[in-house]
Amino acid sequence: MSEEKLRYLFWTRFMKNKLAFMGGLVVAFFFLLALFAPCLSPYDPGDINIKKILESPSPDHLLGTDQLGRDVLSRIVWGSRISLLVGFVAVGISTFIGIFLGSLAGYYGGWIDSIIMRFVDVMLCFPSFFLILAVVAFLEPNIFNIMVVIGVTSWMGVARLVRAEFFTLKERDFVLAVKAQGARDSRIIIKHILPNAMAPILVAATLGVAGAILIESTLSFLGIGVQPPTPSWGNMLTSGKDNIEIAWWLSLYPGLAILLTVLGYNLLGEGIRDAIDPRLKK
């Protein structure tokens, strides 16, 4: 089947999945929100106004103000940049590590596979979130460290997925033909096998973005993630927790932003998976 036909079938299946399409719209909305934050934010997210402390939603401040008089809507808009940046960079790091180790294990097998997979097993023995907490506790809590820590502690699933794909693909006729022509292993892996294994990796990466955003929000909520005054949905929830009885909007709107973003990426990832291989659809 030609590449154009496969692409057409993918988009046809994807567009028929209403939940996946809605997830894609949500993802696109928050992506554009983050991209055009300077234009869409009605106020500077760091502007303090002691005359407007804990104001409820109004025409001047559509989502109210926080305990320092800062506009909640503006902070949510700018917070979307932090969440998406952490999600994409962390998943990029984890996907790169997972592809590198998984391709080596799947292509060469033998003792290389045994060593890499035993390392994966050791990493999986530790609960991911508690492993992240332990590492972050020894580092300065800033956005760079958060992205790196999430990335280097969440690659195991991708590695196992890539390994399984390589075990299947390396025995295909097109790979054996390239080997017979004397191609180097690196060329076979990068040019021939990896492109054919990218579909499930794309699904895993899409779902991974949702997980990374959720982890960053949790770390920021606990006070060991992105630090104030930098706006993050997680540290906004912390402020809301302290004023939940008198300022419900401080917890509701950042919580909804996290919920919708994570739900959007999960629906999008599931839709991509079903469109790639409809046999996996339940």
Predicted pLDDT of residue 229: 83
Predicted pLDDT of residue 158: 92
User: Following DSSP, what letter does each residue of 179-245 receive, concatenated?
Assistant: HHTT--HHHIIIIIIGGGGHHHHHHHHHHHHHHHHHHHHHHHHTTSSSPTTS--HHHHHHHHHHTTT
102/204 Cα distance (integer angstroms): 14
> pLDDT tens, 38-68?
999 999 998 888 888 888 999 999 999 998 8
Predicted pLDDT of residue 258: 93
Read off the pTM. Answer: 0.87
* Contacts of residue 132, Cβ cutoff 8 Å, sequence gap at least 6: 149, 150, 153, 215, 219
Per-run averaged pLDDT (10 residues), the chain, 282 residues: 69 85 92 92 89 90 90 93 90 94 91 93 82 76 84 90 90 85 86 86 90 88 82 87 86 92 91 73 50
CATH class, range 3-280: mainly alpha
